[in-house]
Amino acid sequence: MVSMLSIIEAKKNKAPLDETQIQFWVDGVVNESIPLYQSASLLMAIRLNGMTFEESWLLTKAMTASGDRLHYDQHPIVVDKHSTGGVGDKVTLVLAPLVAACGVPVAMLSGRALGFTGGTIDKLESLDGVQCELPEPTLMKMMDEVGWVNAQPSSRIAPADRALYALRDVTGTVDSIPLITASIMSKKLAGGATHLCLDVKCGSSAFMKTESSASELAHALCRVGELGGVKVGGVISRMSEPLGFAIGNYLELWEAVQYLKSWPQSPLASLIEALAIRMLLMYDPSISDPRAQLMNAIDRGAALESLKRYLAFCGGKKTAVQHLVEDDLGWGNARPVLAPKDGYVDTIDGHGLALDALALGAGRMTKEDRIDPMAGFMLRVGIGDRVEKGDPLMHVFGDRAGDADPLLLGRHFGIIPQARPATSLILASVDP
């Protein structure tokens, strides 16, 4: 007879778990018949002793089947994107409307901010009226009317992951490739897409610190996708500085709008282009010039319209959407952080900035905390830029901007006498 104790003992002794054992555990997590301390013990045994690829796949399968699975039946191809997360990561806010404006159905499920990590849902909901927690039938309607879906998953999508992720978060068991694989892919398989474009981050403030561990995770995600019937490919990208200039919910939404309006050239634009091109080719491999299609969607205003349509569908007030598109951010009320010396910007500590933005109200320390949508930073410089002493490095926004200490904030910028050669954000491509 299977028991939770025998499963823990097996993993403690490095034996692979079989389908019956994994199913027993996942069922017990969802119906709460297994105490959290036993799941915590098994998670730590997995974290320390690993899982074979077969076990990771069986866990993904059981976690996916623990809840509902979305189906966009009228669309034979639906494309999703997953990023393992980064400071200032507003890629989804640009990518989804851009790709959808080229006629590709896009379906994504996104999360909220907790700790220093940002959440796409909080960024979208920073606009007055927008509400992204929607029931499943509304998502089908959203796909029909908007052309793309992004929403907070209901508690019926992969409930086993919801319970296990919360436990991993407080038991030091997040950083396990088989567990990350099952966690990500169970939500992706349940989310209803047929194709998944990955942006696996690697660097000091990412889950994966080295390119080789990022590559290992990316390949596990591809293999699990293949078994689950979802084609997966993408890129591995560098995550050692904030993505783009804005850090903070409304500020990031505002920056996304600037990309959809005029496509400024930047490392972030290159990353979004690489992902968008992959998504277009996943939808139709015969497209001969995907970049031209993307730029055409920007130039004729279709990409921006697509975001506006989405925000209106989710309840965004007409005046708020209009204001977002025309907003100049009122720089006069923001607090500048000035360069302490002449030189070239060599490093920007994204993790440090994210923690300070959190302290100013841009995120939540606990699930119940209220976010100040305007709180955050707008960087005025990027890596490699020349600065003179007294030039603004960034501006601080939000109700509590007055609490910020500009001198301390300035320490997140490394300034050196000579510029170093620029490096691309993209480190490698990931092919199925």
Q: Is residue 82 flagged as an active site residue? A: yes
Give the CB-nearest residue to ligand URA: 183
Instruction: Name the CA dihedral angle for 22, 24, 27, 31, rounded to a multiple of 10 degrees.
Output: -140
From the candidates 82, 162, 351, 412, give the one annotated as an active-site residue. Answer: 82
Q: Is residue 188 flagged as an active site residue? A: no
Pairing of strands 386-387, 148-151: unpaired
Q: Is residue 351 flagged as an active site residue? A: no
The sheet with strand 376-379 has its strands ordered as: 246-247, 376-379, 392-397, 335-338
Q: How far is the CB of 134 from ligand URA (least distance, A)?
A: 20
Q: Which is nearer to ligand URA, 184 or 272 (CB)?
A: 184
Q: Which is nearer to ligand URA, 167 or 287 (CB)?
A: 167
Partnered with residue 232 across adjacent β-strands are 196
Q: Which is nearer to ligand URA, 152 or 183 (CB)?
A: 183
Q: How far is the CB of 175 from ligand URA (least distance, A)?
A: 9
Cα angle at 136 between 130 and 137, to 5 degrees? 95
From the candidates 39, 83, 110, 183, give the one annotated as an active-site residue. Answer: 183
From the candidates 112, 187, 219, 238, give the one annotated as an active-site residue. Answer: 187
Q: Which is nearer to ligand URA, 40 or 419 (CB)?
A: 40
Q: Is residue 161 flagged as an active site residue? A: yes
Q: Position 33: which residue type?
A: S
How far apart, in whole angstroms, are the C-alpha atoms of residue 259 and residue 280?
18
Q: How far is the CB of 78 from ligand URA (least distance, A)?
A: 19
Pairing of strands 231-238, 426-430: antiparallel
Binding residues vs ligand URA (CB under 6 A): 84, 165, 174, 179-180, 183-184
Helices (H), 229-301: 249-262, 267-283, 290-299
Q: How far is the CB of 18 from ligand URA (least distance, A)?
A: 23
From the candidates 80, 89, 161, 349, give the one annotated as an active-site residue. Answer: 161
Q: Is residue 187 flagged as an active site residue? A: yes
Contacts of 183 (CB under 8 A, 6+ apart): 63, 161, 164, 165, 168
Q: Which is nearer to ligand URA, 184 or 337 (CB)?
A: 184
Backbone angles phi, psi at 426, to 5 degrees: -90, 125
From the candidates 11, 90, 112, 168, give the one annotated as an active-site residue. Answer: 168
Provide the annotated active-site residues. Answer: 82, 161, 168, 183, 187
